[in-house]
Amino acid sequence: MPNAAESPLATYIAHLKRGELGYQFSPSLGHAVFYPRVIAPKTGAADLEWRVSNGLGTVHATTVVHAQGGATHNVCLVDVDEGFRMMSRVEDIEPTRVTIGMRVKFRVHTPEGDEDPYPVFTPVENGQ
């Protein structure tokens, strides 16, 4: 396993810091694996390879969160084109306008302070 000293989470965050959406692929399963892990689910094989997503996906589910004393935002599940689903949010649009089936594109959100970056999505123009 290449770079076994670095945890899967550390590798994932390193991809985000480079502006990439990294994910793992398992040849023994024949499909993408997400959230990053040490061994493949179901097979237990240590054959996970890191790949970089093209960053496009489709909203699978969405909800609006009305935080007490905070800004309203959405939480969604995105089916990324490479074959995995992840929880995130869609920015640059009113939370109530995010719809199931909407095409979205990945971008990195870098919080202030020493928090790690995390993935968010924005609507894709014309459904690309």
Q: What is the CATH number of the domain that holds 87?
A: 2.40.50
Q: Say whether pLDDT at 125 is over 70.
A: yes
**1 lies in a domain?**
no
Residues 78 and 122 occupy one common structural domain:
yes
Domain that holds residue 70: 56-127
* 62 CA to centre of own chain: 15
Give percent above pLDDT 90 in the chain: 74
Residues 45 and 66 occupy one common structural domain:
no
Which residue type does 24 have?
Q
Report phi then psi at 125, rounded to 5.
Answer: -65, 135
**61 lies in a domain?**
yes
**97 lies in a domain?**
yes
Three-class SS state of 125: helix
The total domain count for the chain is 2
Which residue type does 25 have?
F
Residues 116 and 68 occupy one common structural domain:
yes
**2 lies in a domain?**
no
pLDDT digits (tens, 9 = 90+) for 88-121: 999 999 999 999 999 999 999 998 888 999 999 9
